[in-house]
Structure 1
Amino acid sequence: MYAEVTLDVPFHDVDSMNVVWHGHYLKYFEIARCHLLDQFGYNYLQMQESGYLWPVIESHVRYVYGIQFQQKIRVRAILKEWENRLKIDYLVFDAETGKRLTKGYTTQVAVNAKTRELCLQSPQVLFDRLEAWSGFQPTGATK
C-alpha cells in the first residue's frame, strides 16, 4: 500500500549550496503521507472528526544524494504498520532517472482528542477505513 507524488523543488527550499535544506525533506514526506491518507479517506481532518489526533512521535531521514533546485522528484509513502501505530516509509527518487535520493520513515500514534491519552492500539476507525479501501484486510503489518 503506497502513494506517490511528483514535486518540483522550489528555490525557497534550497540553501546557499543549492541543495535542499535538510528540514524540507520532512515536508516532502508529509505531502506524500497526506496523499496516502487521502486514498483511504483518513487524512488529518477525518482523524480529528473521528476523535483522534495522530502526532508524529519519531522521524528518520537518510540523505543519500542531495536534491537540487528545480529537480523533479517522486516521493513514495508506504504504509508499513498500522495495528498499534502508523509507520510510514518514504523513498525519494529523481523523477527523470529513477535514482534513489533519500529514504526515511515517520511513526505516528493515536491520541484521544478529548482526554489527550495515548492509545496503545490503533482505533477501530482506522481499520474500518483501511478495510473499505479496495477490500484491504488489515490483519497485520506488511513486510
Structure 2
Amino acid sequence: MPINNKQLQSHPINAEYSIEVPFFDLDPMQIVWHGNYIKYFEEARCQLLRKIDYDYPQMKASGYYWPIIDIRVKYVNPARYGQKLRCIATLKECENRLLIDYRIEDQATGKKLSKGHSIQVAVTADEFEMQLISPIVLSQKLEAYYASL
C-alpha cells in the first residue's frame, strides 16, 4: 500500500544540515543575508532526499524532475557570523506534492532563527508535464526507507 500523508504525520522523516555561518553569507548589517536561508533549506532538503534514496540524480533517472513551485521563509531571529546553525527538514506531504517544512535554529541553544516550507511537484523529465499525483517511484522509495528502519 502506498505511503500517504497520514503515515508521514505519525512517522515523520527528517534530516539535518549543520553550518557555521561564513563571512560571505552576511549582508551589510553583519547578519545572514535573507536569501542564504533558502540555501540552507536546500542543503537540508538534499540531506532528506538522500535519506530516502531519492535525491536529484535519482529523480532524473526515474523520469521526473521535482521543481519548487512555492517556498516560504519566516525570519524570527538573525543569524550571525560564526554562529553554528542546524537546519532541520521534515517531509510533511507526499501524495500530490512534496511539502517539506524547515526550521533553522542555533545549534547550541536550540533558539529558533527561521522557519519555512517548500512545495515541489513532479513533472515528466521529457515533456515537463505536471503530474497531479506523485509518481509511484516516490512511494516505493518511502516504503523502502520505512522497511529499513
TM-score normalized by structure 2? Answer: 0.89
Measured against aligned partners, the alpha-carbon deviations of 1:88-142 in whole angstroms (never above 9, x if no partner) come to: 0000110011111100000000000111100000000000000000328xxxxxx
Structure 2 regions of 5+ residues with no counterpart?
1-12
Which structure has the highest helix share of the two?
Answer: 2
Partner Cα separation in structure 2 for residue 55 and residue 120 of structure 1: 14
| 1:61 paired to 2:87 | no
Partner Cα separation in structure 2 for residue 116 and residue 99 of structure 1: 40
| Corresponding residue of 2:116 | 104
Quote the offset at 1:56 in angstroms: 0.4
Quote the offset at 1:32 in angstroms: 0.2
SS at match of 1:84: coil
The counterpart of 1:79, out of the listed 81, 85, 91, is 91
Superposed CA RMSD in Å reads: 0.9
Identity of matched residues, %: 51
SS at match of 2:88: strand
Quote the offset at 1:5 in angstroms: 1.6
Partner Cα separation in structure 2 for residue 29 and residue 63 of structure 1: 13
Structure 1 regions of 5+ residues with no counterpart?
137-143
Q: Supply the AA of the counterpart residue of 2:132.
A: L
Which piece of structure 1 moves more, 71-80 or 3-12? 3-12
Measured against aligned partners, the alpha-carbon deviations of 1:20-42 in whole angstroms (never above 9, x if no partner) come to: 11101000000000000000100
Partner Cα separation in structure 1 for residue 131 and residue 108 of structure 2: 42
Provide runs of 4+ in structure 1 moved above 3 Å: none
| 1:45 paired to 2:52 | no
Number of residue pairs matched by the alignment: 136
Quote the offset at 1:6 in angstroms: 1.2
SS at match of 1:26: helix
| Corresponding residue of 2:8 | none
